[in-house]
Copies of this chain bind each other. A is one copy, B any other.
Amino acid sequence: MTEPQTHHPNPSGLKRVAVLTSGGDAPGMNAAIRAVVRTATHNGIEVVGVRRGFQGLHEGDMALIGPRDVANTIQRGGTILLTARSHTWRSPEGRAKGAQNLRDWQVDGLIVIGGDGSFHGAHYLQQEHGFPVIGVPGTIDNDLYGTDHTIGYFTAVETALDAVDKLRDTGASHERIFVIEVMGRHAGHIALEVAVAGGAEEVFIPEDAKPVDGVVEIVKQSLAKGKASSIIIVAEGYPGGAEGVSKAIHEGTGQETRVSILGHIQRGGTPVSSDRVLASRLGEAAVYALMDGKSDVMVGRQGGGISHIPLHETWEKKKDVNRDLYRCAKTLSV
């Protein structure tokens, strides 16, 4: 095995890229920014950092950044480029202004780190102005088609799991039922993983149509099995959420439960290794994609390799939850 080749061919003649983070922040976004900056620099390409997402792109809030600017950021939560939800970007005029700013800065391509809302924004820029854009999946929800995981997902799972472990201490000591709501927007990925890893008795996800009433039977069985305490995980996208499940249990069994809605802590914190590595790989891949002349695609990771998925597919195609994991959650709650 020899030293790896780290210089990538540059047939598109890329000289300067811009990078921004948009939408909800996710742990690992800084690692992705760092990877973009360092990969570009290593290949002789300059990088412009855009602050506050598309809003900053519209306003021209941008500056050149170099490898030292991203030193000591790989372990930090949040995003050093800041993020925002932009209203002006929703209008063609707003996007035209942003396109002009990119041209004024002599930028040859834009890398957008974010979720499906952010990818829409990038897609329109490409469609309306022919500007090369690459999407990097950065969201804790893991709800983008075309990549096994999204940046931030692993850390969000770990944070939620840590909370579940803590609540189990109290649940077991008091012989109580805890109904815990985790994030994930319209998807049950976080809920499912946390349910298996947290040894939950039951999990409710938006992808399964089962009625909340069913939980009554489960709780009764659980009590009958001699389980004095229970952990029930509910995805925020499940109709009624944790409060609804709690109410159903109370009405059906008379059992009191404690509801815990984990909320925004799931977005923050030092990214775990899996998110840092994923972000590093995808940040590198995003620069390579622009160098290769690609545009209007998301770089993702599938089965260990890098995928390039048309941006519109990332939100049009449905990413299913892992059904094997769902079965596993059921089996192991015996």
Contacts and interface: CB of A to CB of B under 8 A. Distances in A.
Given A209-B1, A277-B197, A332-B38, A6 B327 contact: yes
A265 B260 contact: yes
Contact of A4 (B174, B268, B330): B330
A304 to B, nearest CB: 7
Contact of A158 (B83, B207, B273, B328): B273
Interface string A252-280: 00000010111111011110111011001
B173 A82 contact: yes
Interface stretch (A69-77, A88-96, A97-105, A123-131): A69-77
B332 A35 contact: yes
Interface residues of A, number: 93
Nearest to A74: B199
In the assembly, how many copies of this chain are there? 4
B199 A334 contact: no
B327 A1 contact: no
Given A263-B260, A325-B281, A226 B68 contact: yes
Interface stretch (A57-65, A162-170, A233-241, A292-300): A162-170
Contact of A331 (B6, B178, B274, B303): B6
A170 B280 contact: no
Nearest to A40: B334
A39 B329 CA distance: 11
A148 interface: yes
Given A165-B268, A281-B325, A328-B280, A25 B174 contact: yes
B284 A328 contact: yes
A237 B206 CA distance: 36
Interface centre among A77, A267, A332 (most CB of B within 10 A): A332
A41 B332 CA distance: 10
Task: Pick the 9 closest A-B CB pairs, nearest first.
Answer: A166-B268, A77-B169, A169-B268, A4-B327, A78-B169, A78-B173, A303-B303, A197-B276, A25-B173
Interface of A: 1-6, 21, 25, 27, 34-35, 38-39, 41-42, 52, 67-68, 71-72, 74-79, 82-84, 148, 154, 157-159, 161, 163, 165-170, 172-175, 178, 193-194, 196-199, 207-210, 225-227, 258, 260-265, 267-270, 272-274, 276-277, 280-281, 284, 303-304, 322-328, 330-334
